[in-house]
């Protein structure tokens, strides 16, 4: 008999898991506290963009997928906790209030034979320290596993099936139950020895990604000081060289990479890691540094920044795979720099509604107007629409003086031939300001 699954938290992790389980024939009861989200999902309209999810909800909502404010009592075979574990903006400490509340709801709605799965990203030790106590207090015994989510936005439904699924259990019986559950979803399972080992797997993956990208950013900042092109340096370093490739410079955001290093730090014990915190500081510095560079370039070209118009292309934290996710977006730390300089910021993103652009301080615009109605253009993400821009089609008599192409995806030769100053991360082109 196919188990009935409860998924607590209809954010990105819970939403995509619900869709993947429904595809596999599971009955899924989702839980969320936002009435608008509940109503939208029950009508088959996901509130978060992810390829394939809308089609699943259109087919299964009200049939095998149901969303409410709480789990149904005594009907759930496995309850998967997918709530957010945000990091405090000032202290950088994770807030586990949602995790504790979800554990309490499971304890109140389910019983000791229910398998409880922690899927949220948590500090090492949190599954045992925060989730387990209310289960034991209510039931006297529990089956508990940690099975971290490790998908990339834009490919989640495929990766939930194809990526190895790591499972760590409280004990042998818990592990066996977790392996059985995820064996019905994923093609490859990776059992680990404990809850804590599984917790550290997720944090290790994301902090390693943060580190890899940070090194590319470090090279770019060094190259900038010497007037070198970081893409030339990195390309030459990588070409047919039998060691790990250097990453190209770029922004590092999103819901995971912007907070998971702090979650790892919070549970690292008495001896803090040597690398994790400086790496995160570097990646958080980069958008601010770029914003200052853009302001300096505008000042160099116009003599003043007051009243200048800057068009920003790409407001979601990344462009490929396309997403509408604004968590960890570079624009958040850039906007104060632009505001202080007196810039008017125009905004465009194919995935982000105009209302969100306004919410973050921009005036919505189009790609054509970005190149005809601004003093400078800043490309923040690499959405395919931006990669496809033909300079001859967007450059007219009125054109920007500067294009700062963070991802180096535009035609530099066409821009410079048109008299436009071209720059990128770690690369200020000819006649650099300052």
CATH of the domain at 176: 3.40.50.720
Res 269: pLDDT: 84
- Rg, C-alpha atoms of the chain: 24
Strand order from edge to edge, sheet including 344-348: 363-364, 344-348, 309-313, 376-379, 402-405, 421-423
pLDDT tens for 374-391 read: 999 999 999 999 999 999
Give yes or no: residues 94 and 189 share one domain: yes
pLDDT of residue 319 exceeding 50: yes
Give yes or no: residues 30 and 124 share one domain: yes
Res 433: pLDDT: 39
Q: How many CA atoms lie within 13 A of 78 on its CB side?
A: 28
Give yes or no: residues 316 and 187 share one domain: no
Res 431: pLDDT: 42
Q: Supply 210's token pair.
A: 């943060």
Domain membership flag for residue 135: yes
Asked if 329 contacts 319 with a C-beta cutoff of 8 angstroms, the reply is no
Give yes or no: residues 164 and 298 share one domain: no
Domain membership flag for residue 265: no
Choose one of 174, 193, 212: the last residue of a domain: 193
| pTM of the predicted structure, to 2 decimals | 0.93
Domain membership flag for residue 267: no
User: What does the chain come to in residues?
Assistant: 434
Give yes or no: residues 183 and 283 share one domain: no
Choose one of 158, 193, 228: the last residue of a domain: 193
Integer Cα distance of 98 and 32 in angstroms: 11
Res 110: pLDDT: 97
Give yes or no: residues 189 and 283 share one domain: no
Mean pLDDT of 22-45: 97
Domain that holds residue 387: 279-423
Mean pLDDT of 36-58: 96
Task: Identify the H or E element spanning 255.
Answer: helix 254-257
pLDDT tens for 194-238 read: 999 999 999 999 999 999 999 999 999 999 999 999 999 999 999
Res 430: pLDDT: 61
Domain membership flag for residue 219: no
Domain membership flag for residue 159: yes
Domain membership flag for residue 298: yes
Higher pLDDT pick, 429 / 79 = 79
pLDDT tens for 125-183 read: 999 999 999 999 999 999 999 999 999 999 999 999 999 999 999 999 999 999 999 99
Domain membership flag for residue 365: yes
Give yes or no: residues 50 and 144 share one domain: yes
Res 362: pLDDT: 98
165-169/143-146 β-pairing: antiparallel
Domain membership flag for residue 232: no
Give yes or no: residues 285 and 188 share one domain: no
Number of domains in the chain: 2
Could you write out the DSSP letters of every residue in 79-135?
EEE-----B-TTT--B--HHHHHHHHHHHHHS-TTSEEEE-S---TTHIIIIIHHHH
Task: Identify the H or E element spanning 357.
Answer: helix 354-359
Mean pLDDT of 256-273: 92
- The mean predicted confidence, pLDDT, of the chain is 96
> pLDDT band at residue 432, thresholds of 50, 70 and 90?
very low
Integer Cα distance of 421 and 2 in angstroms: 61
């Amino acid at each position: 008999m196919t188990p009935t699954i409860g998924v607590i938290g209809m954010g990105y992790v819970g939403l995509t898991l619900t869709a993947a389980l429904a595809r596999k024939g599971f009955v899924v009861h989702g839980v969320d506290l936002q009435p608008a989200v509940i109503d939208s999902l029950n009508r088959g309209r996901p509130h978060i963009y992810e390829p394939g999810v809308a089609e699943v909800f259109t087919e299964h909502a009200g049939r095998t997928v149901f969303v409410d404010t709480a789990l149904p009592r005594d009907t759930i075979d496995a309850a998967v906790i997918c709530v957010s574990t945000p990091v405090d903006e000032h202290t950088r400490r994770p807030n586990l209030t949602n995790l504790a509340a979800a554990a309490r709801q499971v304890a109140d709605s389910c019983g000791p034979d229910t398998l409880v799965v922690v899927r949220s990203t948590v500090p090492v030790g949190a599954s045992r320290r925060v989730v387990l106590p209310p289960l034991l207090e209510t039931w006297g015994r529990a089956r508990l596993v940690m099975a971290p989510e490790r998908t990339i936005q834009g490919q989640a439904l495929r990766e939930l099936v194809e990526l190895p699924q790591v499972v760590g259990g409280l004990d042998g019986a818990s592990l066996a139950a977790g392996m059985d559950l995820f064996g019905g979803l994923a093609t490859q399972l990776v059992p680990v020895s404990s809850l804590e080992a599984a917790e550290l797997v997720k944090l290790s993956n994301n902090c390693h990604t943060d580190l890899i990208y940070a090194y590319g950013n470090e090279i770019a900042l060094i190259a900038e000081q010497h007037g070198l092109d970081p893409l030339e340096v990195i390309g030459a370093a990588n070409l047919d060289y039998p060691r790990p490739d250097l990453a190209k410079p770029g922004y590092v955001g999103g819901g995971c990479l912007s907070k998971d290093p702090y979650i790892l730090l919070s549970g690292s014990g008495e001896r803090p890691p040597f690398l994790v915190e400086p790496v995160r500081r570097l990646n958080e510095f980069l958008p601010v540094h770029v914003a200052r560079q853009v302001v300096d370039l505008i000042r160099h070209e116009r003599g003043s920044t007051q009243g200048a118009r800057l068009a920003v292309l790409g407001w979601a934290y990344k462009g490929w795979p396309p997403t509408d996710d604004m968590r960890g977006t570079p624009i958040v730390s850039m906007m104060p720099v632009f505001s202080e300089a007196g810039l008017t910021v125009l905004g465009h993103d194919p995935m982000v509604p105009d209302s969100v652009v306004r919410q973050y301080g921009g005036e919505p615009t189009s790609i054509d107007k970005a190149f005809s109605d601004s003093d400078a253009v800043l490309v923040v993400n690499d959405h395919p629409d931006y990669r496809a821009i033909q300079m001859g089609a967007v450059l007219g008599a009125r054109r920007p003086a500067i294009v700062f192409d963070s991802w180096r995806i535009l035609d530099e030769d066409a821009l410079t031939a048109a008299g436009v100053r071209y720059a990128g991360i770690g690369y200020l082109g000819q006649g650099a300001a300052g």
